[in-house]
Structures are given as C-alpha cells and as structure tokens.
Amino acid sequence: MISKIFRTIIIGPPGSGKGTISTRIVKDFGMKHLSSGDILRKQILDGTAAGSTAKQFIDKGQLVPDNVMVQLIINELKKIQGNSWLLDGFPRTLTQAKSLYEEEPVDVVVNLNVPFNVIIERIEKRWTHIPSGRIYHTEFNPPKLQGKDDKTGDDLIQRDDDKPETVRKRLETFQNLTQPVLEFYRSKNILAEFTGSYSNEIWPEVHKLLSTYKSPLQYTEYK
C-alpha cells in the first residue's frame, strides 16, 4: 500500500539542538512533533503517577525505564495516527528502537553530531517554557521579554536536569546507551548524519535532505 505518512526521528546528545531543529522542521514541513522529554515534563507538571516515577530518573540524568517509555510513546503515536510525525528523543536505547520498529516503519533518522564541549555551554543558558516545550537561549535565541515566554508571557524556568553535573551524566548515558541505536539505523540504511557546532549551519543541510523527498513530504511504500 502507499502510505502518505512520513516518519522521521531526530537523535543527538542532550543540548545538540534536537528541539531547535525540530521546531524548524515542523514549521517548514508540517509534521506532528513528539518530544519524549516534553511529554515527560508535562506529566511531571500535571502531577501524574508516570510523571513522579519519571522525575526520579530524569533528575539523576538517567533514562526512564524502557517499558514505561515505549508504552508512553506508542500511546502518543496512536493519538496522531494518520499524520506524518517527527520523534525527538525517542528511541534512546536499542530495546526502544526495536520496539518502535515492530510497531511503525521509519523513513529517515536525523542524527545531530555536536561536540560535547559546545553542549555544556549551551545548556547553561537555556530557558524553557515547560507547558509548551518552547526553548530559548539567553544569546542564541532570547525571548522578547527577559524570563518570559513569547506566546503566553508565563515565567520561563531552567530545567532541574540542566545542572552541570547532571548534564555530564546525561552525556555519559547517551554515549553508552544511544550509540547502539545509531548502529541499528545505520544497518537499515536510513541514518542521515549531520556534524557541526551551530544549529544555523546544520539546519540548511537537514532542510536540503528533507526537501529531496517528493512533495507532499510523505511517500513511503510499505506492506
């Protein structure tokens, strides 16, 4: 059957610009954006049971257990069935990647390869609007009004897991657990790699790649 749905994944270490590049992809190519971190933070904000379990792991820079994560994301994907999607921050382990592959085909995986030293500096200056997932940076992408979300005027916050020692732990976790995910997609020939220190340099390359797919963006044949 011909599916008019395009399924994209964006992978990269913490602070590599997944959220930043995702916002631009959504704007230009119109897919549904699902960020695993945003979904978890929303659960925490809403005080759900899943949120309180997740918080214990997130605050330590550890991954939330695979079974919790897979269930959460598969449920979210069901809600947007029939739409093209962009998954940001999931999968992060080989188990998650294999579970997703059993449920849904994937068209392309965008890997952001950004040096770790650049990342530490970026995260220190990040401010977030948790309910929407909108992200700012005091220099790279400042809000119109200092400390306030552009759309709602709500206060921006610094994420609890953005403390330097937690960021280092998150980078280590990425190195150990997410590298095999890249290997998995490389072996399927759907991994596209982008190396650089600046999102403004990486973005045109990502745009070029996604533009090579026939318009409308979605066009995968699968059984």
What is the C-alpha separation between 1 and 206, in angstroms, rounded? 28
Identified catalytic residue from 18, 41, 122, 134: 18
Query: Is 99 near ligand G5P (CB under 6 A)?
Result: no
Q: Which of the choices ligand G5P, Mg ion, none does residue 170 contact, using the CB cut-off of 5 to 8 A by kind?
A: ligand G5P
Span 147-166, contacts to ligand G5P by CB under 6 A: 161
Query: Is 84 near ligand G5P (CB under 6 A)?
Result: no
The 3-state secondary structure of the chain, one letter per residue: CEECCCEEEEECCCCCCHHHHHHHHHHHHCCEEEEHHHHHHHHHHCCCHHHHHHHHHHCCCCCCCHHHHHHHHHHHHHHCCCCCEEEECCCCCHHHHHHHHHHCCCCEEEEEECCHHHHHHHHHCEEEECCCCEEEECCCECCCCCCECCCCCCECECCHHHCHHHHHHHHHHHHHHHHHHHHHHHHCCCEEEEECCCHHHHHHHHHHHHHCCCCCCCCEECC
* Contact yes or no for 171/14 (Cβ under 8 A): yes
Residue nearest to ligand G5P (CB): 37
Q: Which stretch binds ligand G5P (CB under 6 A): 15-23, 26-34, 97-105, 214-222?
A: 15-23
What's the min distance (Å) between Cβ of 18 and Mg ion? 5
Query: Is 133 near ligand G5P (CB under 6 A)?
Result: no
Sole binder of ligand G5P in the list 5, 34, 110, 135 (CB under 6 A): 135
Does the annotation count 159 as an active-site position?
yes
Sole binder of Mg ion in the list 12, 17, 19, 61 (CB under 5 A): 19
Does the annotation count 92 as an active-site position?
yes
Identified catalytic residue from 92, 148, 188, 208: 92
Query: Is 141 near ligand G5P (CB under 6 A)?
Result: yes
Q: 165: Cβ–Cβ under 8 A, 6 or more apart, which residues?
A: 61
Identified catalytic residue from 7, 41, 126, 134: 126
Does the annotation count 18 as an active-site position?
yes
Q: 121: Cβ–Cβ under 8 A, 6 or more apart, which residues?
A: none
Task: Tell me the catalytic residues.
Answer: 18, 92, 126, 159, 170
Interacting residue ranges for Mg ion, rule: CB under 5 A: 18-19
Residues binding ligand G5P (CB under 6 A) = 12, 14-20, 36-37, 40, 57-58, 61-64, 69, 89-92, 96, 122-123, 126, 135-137, 139-141, 161, 170, 198-200
